[in-house]
Structures are given as C-alpha cells and as structure tokens.
Amino acid sequence: MTIVTRFAPSPTGRLHVGNIRTALHNALFAIAQSGRFLLRIDDTDAERSTEAFVAAIHEDLDWLGLKPDATVRQSERFALYEREFERLRAAGRVYACYESSDELDLRRKVLLGRGLPPVYERKSPDAAVPDGVAPHWRFKLDHTAAIEWDDLVRGHQRFDPALISDPVVRRADGSWLYLLPSVIDDIDLCITHIVRGEDHVSNSATQIQMFDALGAATPHFAHEALLVAAEGKLSKRLGSTGVDGLRDAGIEPLALLSLLARLGTSHPVEPRTSLAALAEGFDFATFGRAPAHFDLTEVEQLNAKLLHLTDFADVAGRLPEGTNEAQWRALRGNLAYLGEIAAWLPVLDGDIAPPEVVPDDKPLLAEAAALAATLDWSDEPWRQLTDALKAATGRKGRELFHPLRLALTGRDSGPEMAPLLLLMGQDRAVVRLRAAAL
C-alpha cells in the first residue's frame, strides 16, 4: 500500500505556523514512508475564498520547500460531490431539514435547560414540509454502535453517536460544508492517513460513518495537540507568526521547519538542512498530547545555528553579488539572519570609518600597524600579530584583542579574527590600524 497524505487549507487567509506544522507533518510522514503528499485547496466557500489566498498558499509552501506531488481544488469537483450525495440520499443516509437557525438555537436552549445534551432531534419522516422553504441536508448517523478507532497520537478513541448531532453537510442554497466533500475527496484520492489538529477529533467520529456509508475503508487518523503561543491558540490573526511575516523577517525555511518537526515530540530540536533529514525517525508515537508551545525565540536561535552549518552552494544565489565562498565561511558563524552579511562585506573588502578608540589603546595600535606591515601575510597573520604584540606590550586577553578587533572591523564583536584579517589583506589592515592610532 502506498502511503498518501494530504494538506487541505482553506484559501480564506494567510497560512500561519499551525497550518505549516500540519502540512510539514503530512509531508514528512509521506517522505519517511516513501509515499505521496497531496495539496487540496478547500475552496467550497465561494464568499470567503479568494484567488489571492490560493496564490499565497502556493507561495508559502514553495518557500518552505513543501512541494506536493499533486494539487486538487474542491471547487472543481462539485460533480463528484453531487454524485456521491445522491448515492447517500438514495440509501437514506442524508435527509432534508427545514428548521431555521433561530428555531435550532431555541431548541438547544430548551434541551440544555432540561439538563439534556443539545443534540439535533430528528423529525418524523411524515412531518409536514413547509411551503417555499428550501431544505438543508444532514447526514444520518447510525446510533446502533459506538464509533471507535486507534488514533496514531491520541490512542484509542470512542464516541457514542447518539450524543452527536447529525451534521449538516449541505446548505439550503446547495453549497457544501466541510465534512462530506472532504470524505469524498479522501476516498477518490486514496488518502491513507489523515493528519490534522485535535480540534477535528469529533469531526473524525462523524466522518468515519461517512466512509462506511460510501463503502470505503477508513484512513488512519493522527490528531495532534494544537500549537499555543503567549497569545493563546495560534490563528491566522497572529500576524508575527504568519509565514509571510517570518519570511519577511529573514527566517530560513528550514529553521522554522526544524522546530515544527520536533515540537511536541520526545526528540531534541536541532537544525536540519533538508526535509529528508527531518523525515528520519519521524514517528507519530513520539508526539505527546499536551499542547505544544511555539516560541519565536527558538526559531531565531535555530536560524543562527542553521546558517552556521549552511554550505556556500546552498545560499550563493541569495548573497550580495560578488560574495565568494571564503567570505561566506568567514562570516556565517556570526550571522543571525542571512541579510546581515551585507553589512559585514565592507569589513572584508571595503572602507570603514575609523572607530573611537580610548587614548590608552592608541600606542598598542601604532605598534600593531608597524608590526603588520612586516608580516608574511600568507602564514597566519593574526597569530603572528597577536604573539608579537603580547611579547612587546605584555597585554593579553580582552585587553589585547578588543582594541585590535575594534580598529580592524569597527565593531566590538564579530566573527573569528584570523580568517577576517587574512581576507581583508595586509594593506587594508595596516591602513586601519594606523588610522585608529591617530
């Protein structure tokens, strides 16, 4: 059996990290099992769905490297839904209802007031049909047996269908709600595993009966604990953790994915440089049921660690024109974001303003300039320079290294000085030391 998973976003807003976690786990499970990962655009809600958000979903997934093996749109599959709906109606598994929203709200309040579950009460088949009222349609749940399944994350699940309202599957205007089209698509697309948030557990209970009513095997379910942040449950309104916001902030895709792949599991969170590496050992059995806490600070830390591991070939196309591999290797260990490299390149091959230096350090820098002019620059010039200055001045540690770094780079901190000094060249280094000593 080929494993087939799917990510099914609605194009009613931008994706956020909760959506991306779901997409990632579907993709990683498919990769780990040598299966297929599909994208299904759930655009049956014509009023709220927009082409701009469809394009944004594709843009975000492309940026993240989560490329589906195939894409379908529900808005192009209405004929299939109609056909299967008619099958269910002929079998008596969907039925027409005529209550208004106000009538249903009132009845729920009455039931709650009596201490009863607010479950929809089926009408007699002989009940009068009101004139001029278009029906909405409900799926008729079978109350004869409990609904049970073994969830890959939550373990054994059991629901009493008598305590669940028959779900509305089609509105009076003929438009579709989520539950039934999703099942029809999962059957048609041969989905074997449905991976989604735990807020869909009760939906799965009703959908299991829909699979059965349509004569199809039920896929495996994995209902994951939801992500939470300081603001509470993540949503499309959480701005700063939207995918577009993270991209604009300079976050590397694999830094975000490295966190989301392991968040809520028993595995350590470590930067990985490919989806294949993230898929190694991916197992729903390692996921806990407690809410997984998403912290943007962890993403930023992983971003820096990832850049420190990234090869030049993997970023060359995104670096400022003319940046070479030696420069990248010298600077990557000090970068928190890739965009920071532009500010460091002039330190290597451009001009910098002479820094403010305390008077007591100027004699040291004058001595350094004189020594630097005599060194063999092909043989570890930083080691030669600092060894000679220690012997000549007695300085060591920060007292020696900080004035030299400040004079040579214009900064108090930064990457290792040995490769920097080699790349900036002897003439540039001597000029900077002399300028700082004045």
DSSP state of 291: P
**Residue 236: predicted pLDDT:** 40
Query: 104-118, 197-211, 214-228: which has the minimum mean pLDDT?
Result: 104-118
Residue 240 has pLDDT above 70, yes or no: no
- Tell me: the pLDDT tens digits for 127-172? 888 888 999 999 999 999 999 999 999 999 999 999 999 999 999 9
Contact (Cβ atoms closer than 8 angstroms) between residue 305 and residue 274: no
Q: With bands split at pLDDT 50, 70 and 90, how would you rate the model's confidence at 239?
A: very low
pLDDT at 127: 80
Per-residue pLDDT, averaged over 283-299, amounts to 91
Find out whether 272 and 52 touch, Cβ atoms under 8 Å. no
Structure tokens at 136: 């909405």
Task: Find the mean pLDDT for residues 333-354.
Answer: 94
The predicted-structure confidence for 12-47, as pLDDT tens digits, reads as follows 988 988 999 999 999 999 999 999 999 999 999 988
**Once rounded to an integer, what is the mean pLDDT over residues 346-353?**
94
Residue 232: DSSP 8-state: E
pLDDT average, residue stretch 67-96? 97
Exposure class string for 368-380: b at 16+ Cβ within 10 A, else e: bbebbeebeeeee
The per-residue pLDDT for 233 is 47
Average pLDDT over residues 184-209: 97
Residue indicated by tokens 């995918």: 243
Mean of the pLDDT values across residues 354-379?
95
Q: Taking residues 341-352, report their average pLDDT.
A: 94
Mean pLDDT over each residue of the chain, to the nearest integer: 93
Euclidean distance between CA atoms 306 and 317, whole angstroms? 17
190 vs 124, higher pLDDT: 190
Q: Percentages helix, strand, coil for the chain, rounded to the nearest 5?
A: 50, 15, 35
Spatial contact of 401 and 386, defined as CB atoms under 8 Å apart: yes
- pLDDT of 231 over the 80 cut: no
**pLDDT at 274 exceeding the cut of 50:** yes
Assess whether pLDDT exceeds 90 at residue 328: yes
Residue 238 pLDDT > 70? no
* CA–CA distance, 333 with 321 (Å, rounded to integer): 20
Q: Which residues pair with 97 in a beta bridge?
A: 136
DSSP notation for 170-197: E-TTS-B-SHHHHHHHHHHTT--EEEEE
Average pLDDT over residues 381-401: 95
Question: What stretch of H or E contains 94?
Answer: strand 94-97
pLDDT for 232 beyond 70: no
User: Whose structure tokens read 């002897």?
Assistant: 426
Domains in the chain: ranges and CATH: 80-170 (3.90.800.10), 315-349 (no CATH), 359-437 (1.10.10.350)
d(CA 51, CA 48): 10
Contacts of 307 (CB under 8 A, 6+ apart): 252, 332, 335, 336, 337, 338
Sign of CA dihedral 41, 42, 44, 47: negative
pLDDT (tens digit, 9 = 90+) per residue, 243-267? 888 888 899 999 999 999 999 998 8
**How far is residue 298 CA from its own chain's centroid?**
13
- pLDDT of the residue at 230: 56
Contact by Cβ (8 Å): 284, 222: yes
Residues 197-208: what's their mean pLDDT? 97
